[in-house]
Amino acid sequence: MWNVRAGKAQAGGEVMRDKFFVVFVFFAIVSLVLTQACFARENQLGHITFCSGDVQVKGAKESAWKKTEPSVPVYFGDHIRTGHDGKVTITFIDQGLFKIYPNTHTALNAIVSPVEKKNSVLLFFGRIWNKGTRKVLQMKGFEVQTPTAVLGVRGTEFGTASYEDGTMIVLVDSGKVTVDNETNRSTLSSNEAAQLSFDTKEIKAEYDFRPEWERVERDARENLFADGKRYGGFVQGEIYRRRDHLKTLVDKAGGLSEQKERCLSVAEEAKKRGDEIGYESSVSKIRKINKEIVEVNRKIAFYGRRLECHFGLFSHYGYLAKHPEFSKRFHGREFILKELDNMEMIHAEFNAMIEEGMKMSMEDMEDLMEEMREKVREFKKEKGIEDPFDELNKDL
**CATH 2.60.120.1440 for domain 44-213:** yes
pLDDT band at residue 377 using 50, 70 and 90 as cut-offs: low
Q: Which of 20-34, 91-105, 211-225, 375-389 is least confident? A: 20-34
Residue 237 pLDDT: 94
Q: Which of 53-67, 79-93, 111-125 is least confident? A: 111-125
3-state secondary structure of 86: coil
297 to each of 40, 175, 179, 310, how far by Cα in Å? Answer: 18, 30, 23, 20
Return the closest-CA partner of residue 126 out of 103, 107, 108. Answer: 103
Return the closest-CA partner of residue 383 out of 16, 7, 6. Answer: 16
Residues in the chain: 396
pLDDT band at residue 30 using 50, 70 and 90 as cut-offs: very low
Residue 53 pLDDT: 94
Residue 352 pLDDT: 77
3-state secondary structure of 184: coil
**252-282 pLDDT tens trace:** 988 998 998 999 899 889 988 888 898 889 8
> 90 or 372, which is more confident?
90
Q: Alpha helices, DSSP H only, in 130-227?
A: 134-139, 213-226
Residue 205 in this model has a pLDDT that exceeds 50: yes
Average pLDDT, integer, range 355-382: 60
- The one-character DSSP state at 349 is H
Specify the long-range contacts of residues 212-219, CB closer than 8 Å, at least 24 apart: 213/101, 213/127, 213/161, 213/169, 216/161, 216/163, 216/167, 216/169, 217/103, 217/127, 217/161, 217/163, 219/165, 219/167
| Mean of pLDDT over the chain | 81
